[in-house]
Structure 1
């Protein structure tokens, strides 16, 4: 056969034929508008629209868009009589046969050859319309032909329908995914031009209505989350989510489930407030989720319920789910007490290794259910339940550090409202002793340096004495004052590094932590300038002499001074004079910066600590 396409029919005249490369039109499923009880669940547009013509028996013509298309007999402008049949195909594979209620082919008549003639157009299912189909080779018909039903009294109906429920039922039963229908005038009148009619090409539709069962009453109601089933004692202090499970036994296919939610005060059930819900899916199916605006509600008892809509029918309302709004915070902070760690004690107690028992009470607030606590008022992450409504709770808490510590506690009511925060401050005993040098000066004996050592510990911790040893020597004792401080002069000590071990002891002999540290004794000499070259300053000039006087800090056994500078790093030795000092005359050979190092030599070959400084020669 030969397949051609015709353009839009204008003024009742047929345009020329044009060769086409394909037969099928794209199928379109139209989304229905606002649903009503009689609305089809599916509205299809044709995937193929064609007609055959008795004057070209081996050719099929189809109209992709626009104009109208003939059925029955008609005459062209030249007076030639034609007979035509229309074939329209719809893709119906997505229809669920178990819910099929009615299937209707819809067309729109544009004109009739003779309005006096009764409409005779019939529709009948056929085999697929293929590239071999034509007037002389029509597809085989299937089932019975059905007559048209027109809306309106005009001989041209804006909506003409054919009931194809039986045809679609059989096609789906055979597992077919397309339904092709032939529109024709019965054979007894097919050759009579007065029975011919014209249908608009863009107005063919296939409307499929499915049986519908209303959704079930929502169940599995939850407050706040899907772990909190509805119960008689849900208290809310802030906005929370209401959850209801939605079920529709005949949801397949394409029944979109939505929900309606509303809440009301139990004191006035007529004061209903709607909630705009969304949906969420989970392991148990589809849930309606609505936010209850607690912040806008006064304290009191309320209830909410939900129902489901499948775009055609509503479910019954769910059972009411009760909740109580309580936005009133506990007015006072809880009380806190501990036998091991009393609040603000005169002397510290316990230790970082000792847990304490802390008792929290609601301080008379009747609806407290728990307490939150932590070591910062912004990190109350720990929680303990009260032993009864408005009751108390006991915890075990280990201090994080020694010294002054604070435990922060707030009570929480049934709605999650928190009380003011209670700051409970206590002091943790610390037996640590710190030691450091506060001063060093030459010992009057001249045999070493006198080092002032300060020992410090926590006031009130019970330590009264510091026992110490220097460089493994004999044990010495220092008395601790009320401020936790003891100062002791260690003498005489040679320059260099020394070891100090020490421990704090109480009056009863209890010892704290044995500790060790090192400290450095600086026995470097004192150096003065005659002013020509100020120390760490500038003066003099090239070939201008200046004098530095070196005085040993430790005099016993001192014999001489050894020194060198950054210009001449060869050590030079100057004996000490009768006054125990050495005068060194320095004459620079270059201008600019020079660095010096000085140390004292002793009869036993030892050296003092070095003393260094710089000068700038003008």
Structure 2
């Protein structure tokens, strides 16, 4: 037996068979092998051939002696895999191993039969329902034929049978005709799609507490939980049932209301409850295909919505409100909470000054609780206490205020400031008259160490701050003569990490030239510098006799480059990390044009402009430039490293200039890009067309100049002759034209415009479109 998800062999078989399938969301697919097979033979009417070693014969075949044998074959499958499942569909498949005549159509029928044991020709099991198939397969013999047997399996399951049996036979009209005889492999396969139902729910909880034999007492917030497992590993859900124990007719069912996590399901039922009622509930699993598991056992709880009304009293002979303070940090005290005889109260809930929640049980309903509490903070403290009933309802709070004596030790360290790794002497002293036996101390999060107190109650220790990248604090607790440990006192250690000094000697770094630095050690005993430049590998150089080292570094790119440096002593002690961010200027040429400033609409087609190239990099002798995609051109630079060119735009709008320069030491500079926006100089037209024109219509337009010093305006209709008109005193010109009578409708008539200035420079052509609508 083999189990898998749908989408493999079964789905392939169904698609081959031409069956449309929409499987359940969490269907399990199981392949079942036969438990037995048999065939019967008309020539041996009383014989039964069970689990024969050959193939399964169907129809008629002629033996060598001339006798004709007619056979049917039977196969039986175990259906135990469907227990606890919703059955969906089934396919029976096998290989065709022998065919008498491939020219004859394949018509083998599969029938559901009565249970098969030892069938004979004279004692054949009843054939109950014909199954669908076989489905079309042009191969002969076919390595895989399929029949849908869903109805047969469903009938067997409904009848409560543990097995299902099928007969392979030919139709009556073909059964004795040897031309139709066939044989099949007895190694058949029944493929079952079924949805395994969720199992019975377990692990019931009420507000995350296990369900008990005695009903759990609850207040208004009630969250029911359970564990439900699903055999298909589908997304599990649940259905809950809830009812008052004494009114089962009020049973209600509802889905889980919380998000399921793994096998856990939850339901918040507080909104369904009333006070002073005992409820019963149970749950059953529900998978994502709608399959329902069995109902669980019953769990019960009782609601109580009434809170105790009387706040408890709180007393302590160890801690009370006193100007001098009592006890001390780390010193436990006894506090007594008293419910004052309110028998609803079975315990107490309390918080301290930090808001930490704590609970204590009463010695009896309405009784007391003796609580041992140890303060962590000196000075004003508060315990907020309320009585709690069995359902968790709380009484009003009582705030018990008390003053804790400040008994944390005093801490001082010398010297006040020192380099990292230098020893520091720290002295611990008791505060006031506190009797101290010793101290527990640590640096930052290190393991705590202990030291005994001297006759005067003080102690001195040596600590070694050993990390230049950390802030160091010493934490000290006093061990009192009673054995208790106080809360800690802290003192910060002022650490000089000894970061080296970085001096940049190259005043104006340029990409392609080295950058010079001087490193100066600060941490005493430094013997080497370790540095990383521009995210490169770490490199070590020695510290010179004067405590410095010279670096000459090349930047891998222009822009910001970071230098990180530490110094290291002979003992491997590292200084703090120093850094310097260096802005390395690009070596790309600088470009300037008065006539065509970058990113500014200026000039125009035919108007020349001068472009000047300079460089920050010394010794540049030439520049190579290109406008847009034109071939590059190289021009020499003068002795100052400057070169100028003249460029006359031939088109309006954006043009991009790129420039590089060969570097004196070899190689090429970075590329400079300069974008210019060439103005449109063609005239603008204001016309009386109202947005559209008609054939034969006279259109009048005023031409407004954009080009300076206009001598003439030019205009033409598309495919028409060119016309010119001089500007008037105000610089404009008026023109008129008639829309051609043969102008196509639902199209545009194009007016082309340009101008020529007094120097003979003609602008680009602008187009003005006139829409000609349909005549209808």
Same fold, TM-score > 0.5, yes or no: no
Normalised by the length of structure 1, the TM-score is: 0.37
Normalised by the length of structure 2, the TM-score is: 0.30
* Bigger Rg, structure 1 or 2: 1
